[in-house]
């Protein structure tokens, strides 16, 4: 299959919410890909996976006790296995998303704390100078 020239591809401009571009850029470094390749990969994975709603996910986790799993037939296990993998992927995605949000909050706290500490030192220095 011949590769298309970049100019032949459809183009679409995307506006990222605050922090998302940085999160994607961080992922590109981890995966050794370009921003475009990383975004295309994420969209492709999203489009190709069956979507589990959060309600279904919670229900399945509550229903999937060790006892229930051990009593499944081989055929049922074959069907449940991919579904459990999908649940694991969804939970992993949620963790990654929350981790990114947590990093943003920590960065903001750090940015707030540093100027406040500098201001306190400045006041302290003024008070201790004769």
Question: What are the pLDDT digits (tens) for 92-128?
Answer: 887 887 888 788 888 888 888 776 666 666 666 666 6
pTM of the predicted structure, to 2 decimals: 0.38
3-state SS assignment for residue 3: coil
pLDDT at residue 127, rounded to an integer: 62
Residue-wise burial string across 6-41, b where 16 or more C-beta atoms lie within 10 A, e elsewhere: eeeeeeeeeeeeeeeeebeeebbeeeeeeeeebbee
């Amino acid at each position: 299959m011949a590769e298309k020239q970049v100019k032949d591809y459809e183009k679409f401009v995307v506006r990222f919410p605050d922090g998302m571009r940085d999160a994607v850029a961080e992922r590109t470094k981890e995966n050794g890909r370009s921003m475009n390749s990383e975004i295309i990969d994420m969209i492709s994975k999203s489009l190709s996976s069956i979507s589990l709603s959060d309600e279904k996910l919670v229900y399945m986790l509550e229903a999937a006790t060790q006892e229930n799993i051990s009593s499944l037939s081989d055929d049922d296990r074959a069907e449940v296995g991919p579904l459990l993998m999908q649940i694991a992927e969804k939970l992993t995605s949620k963790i990654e998303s929350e981790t990114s949000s947590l990093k943003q909050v920590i960065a903001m706290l750090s940015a707030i704390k540093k100027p406040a500490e500098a201001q306190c030192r400045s006041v302290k220095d003024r008070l201790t100078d004769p």
